[in-house]
Amino acid sequence: MDMLHGACACGDVRFRLSSMPMFVHCCHCRDCQRQTGSAFVLNALIETDRIHLDSGTLSRVPLPTASGRPHDVYRCPACQTALWSDYGGRPGLRFVRVGTLEESARLVPDAHIFTRSKLPWVVLPPGAFAFEVYYDQAKLWPPESLARRHALGV
């Protein structure tokens, strides 16, 4: 397939995704708003071993969470762009920041989560899956994505 390529702002870190992600979240929670300084974050959920680092290194920055579960964000040490996160201490699963991909428009959110703190001027597309907090993965994820996730054991 034609791979999705991504990079940090300064270009030291370059990477590729070797497949499409399992699922894409648009998260409107207060943590994501604060950490990005924006209205929401776009996360592509993908197996860690499907992210290929072509150049650069990453620094791991632990962040506090409302739930108390670990959240480590991986950043370029030079420009501090956040490239992906490990939510919940699951080494096999990464949440890639969609905005770091060259062709970010190819990944459309599969679900909007934590819309209870969505900024009021953000208007979701008609028919978009949207949840006040979270949702049931078994009901919403495509079967092939669920199988990939089960293969990770997470």
Binding site for Zn ion (CB under 5 A): 8, 10, 12, 27, 29, 32, 76, 78-79
Report whether 25 contacts 111 (CB < 8 A): yes
Minimum separation from the CB atom of position 14 to Zn ion (A): 10
CA distance 1 to 17: 10
Q: How far is the CB of 11 from Zn ion (least distance, A)?
A: 6
Read off the tokens for 97: 């920041």
Of the two residues 29 and 73, which places its CB atom closer to Zn ion in the complex? 29
Q: How many residues does the chain have?
A: 154
The nearer residue to Zn ion, 19 or 52, going by C-beta atoms, is 52
Distances (CA, A) of 59 to 32, 34, 62, 89, 153: 19, 20, 10, 16, 26
Residue 5: CB minimum distance to Zn ion, A: 15
| Contact between 117 and 30 (Cβ < 8 Å) | yes
Residue (1 or 66) nearer to Zn ion, CB: 66
Write down the least CB distance from residue 144 to Zn ion, Å: 25
| CB-nearer residue toward Zn ion: 9 or 151 | 9
Tell me, what DSSP letter sits at residue 123?
-
Nearest to 103, CA basis, from 13, 16, 9: 16
Least CB distance from residue 151 to Zn ion, whole Å?
25
The nearer residue to Zn ion, 77 or 142, going by C-beta atoms, is: 77
